Amino acid sequence: MNLSSNGVAIPFSPALFGPLRATGTDDLPDPVALRERLHEDGYLYLPGFLDREDVLRLRARYFSQLPAGFLAPGTSAREGLFSGRVPEGIPEHGVAGHPAHAFVRSETFDRFLDDPRLRKLAADLLDGDARMLPRRILRHFHRGVRRASRAHVDFDYMNEGSPRVVTMWIPVGDCPPQSGALVYLEGSHRLPPEAYEPLRDTTDRPGDRRQICHDLEFTARSLDRRWLWTDFSAGDLMVHLPRIIHASLDATTEAMRLSIDTRFMRQSDAPDPRWLRAWSADDGA
Ligand SMILES: O=C(O)CCC(=O)C(=O)O
């Protein structure tokens, strides 16, 4: 596999990559065991937790909002294949006027996320009444941009509220590594922040100290641990803790990468105020 992140290649080698541990969803462990596993690994990988058809329907709904010429000719919105050309005049992804901005404010999106199974899972993991924070992000990457999520921990983006948060990441479509899957740095939720502070100087985005690093090989070697990966299918769900280092790979396939990330916390905990508004890509949060 030829992989890169933000245009920087990373060899797909056993020294740098290992498998995510799956938690079977047919017979989900009891809440205590689930919480233990989440805190042990820093994540839960729940293959097939969501209904594949629901997820693919959502994919089709979003891609059908894109202007003509975005999708490869003769293909369906459900496939979400990139034509190789972004039509002129479309605003930046996720800002007002872009379809993703309207989509996260739509009834379709609300209905999809207002899933009692997600709420119950969040409540089990937080061991209390859970609420979803209103800032829910729709990410869409296609080949050619060589742009992905840099290595980071979520807490650095939401540090004005309680750290007792769980993030759910939902691939909206099949998402192998080459389509821009998320990868997790093994056991990194246990690292003290001082351990990765120096990595923030190696960056393609000076001026933003929140991200840790754009170079995933350098990150793995410096912290002496592997990136955990999998070949995501539509219907899979990832849950992670706010202190685990994660990043995404560049999308290089014809199939575009679409995903949602959404966060839950206990009703009684104080949220970071920046997460109480609907997401806009230019909201600075
Ligand atoms: O989807 C991505 O590339 C990043 C998502 C993320 O960082 C998260 O869900 O916390």
Residue 281 belongs to some domain of the structure: no
Distance 74 CA to ligand 1 centre (A): 31
Query: Looking at the predicted structure, is the pLDDT value of residue 137 above 90?
Result: yes
Q: What is the mean pLDDT of residues 19-42?
A: 94
**Ligand 1 within 6 A of 5 CB?**
no
**Ligand 1 within 6 A of 250 CB?**
no
The pLDDT value recorded for residue 244 is 98
Which H, E and C letters describe the chain, residue by residue? Answer: CEEEECCEEEECCCCCEEECCECCCCCCCCHHHHHHHHHHHCEEEECCCCCHHHHHHHHHHHHCCCCCCCECCCCCCCCCEECCCCCCCCCCCCCCCCHHHHHCCCHHHHHHHCCHHHHHHHHHHHCCCEEECCCCEEEEECCCCCCCCCEECHHHHCCCCCCCEEEEEEECCCECCCECCEEEECCHHHCCHHHHHHHHHCCCCCCCCCCCECCHHHHHHHHCCCEEECCECCCCEEEECCCCCEEECCECCCECEEEEEEEEEECCCCCCHHHCCCCCCCCCC
**Ligand 1 within 6 A of 246 CB?**
yes
Tens digits of residue pLDDT in 188-247: 999 999 999 999 999 888 888 999 999 999 999 999 999 999 999 999 999 999 999 999
Sign (positive/negative) of CA torsion 84, 101, 262, 60?
negative
The pLDDT value recorded for residue 205 is 87
Residue 275 belongs to some domain of the structure: no
- Give the chain's mean pLDDT: 97
Distance 148 CA to ligand 1 centre (A): 9
Residue 278 belongs to some domain of the structure: no
Considering the chain, what percentage of its residues have pLDDT values greater than 90?
A: 94
CATH number at residue 32: 2.60.120.620
Contact 165, 23 (CB under 8 A): no
Distance 89 CA to ligand 1 centre (A): 27
The pLDDT value recorded for residue 25 is 84
Residue 100 belongs to some domain of the structure: yes
Residue 57 belongs to some domain of the structure: yes
Residue 273 belongs to some domain of the structure: no
Neighbours of 27 (CB within 10 A): 5
Distance 150 CA to ligand 1 centre (A): 9
Tens digits of residue pLDDT in 89-109: 999 999 999 999 999 999 999
Structural domain containing residue 155: 2-266
Q: What is the mean pLDDT of residues 136-156?
A: 96
Query: Looking at the predicted structure, is the pLDDT value of residue 28 above 90?
Result: no
Residue 6 belongs to some domain of the structure: yes
The pLDDT value recorded for residue 117 is 96
| Number of structural domains found in the chain | 1
Number of the ligand 1 atom closest to the C-alpha atom of 152: 7
Among the listed residues 240, 270, 247, the one whose alpha carbon sits nearest the alpha carbon of residue 163? 270
**Ligand 1 within 6 A of 6 CB?**
no
Residue 285 belongs to some domain of the structure: no
Tens digits of residue pLDDT in 238-284: 999 999 999 999 999 999 999 999 999 999 999 999 999 999 999 99
Q: Which residues contact 62 (CB under 8 A, 6 or more apart)?
A: 77, 99, 100, 103, 138, 140, 172, 258
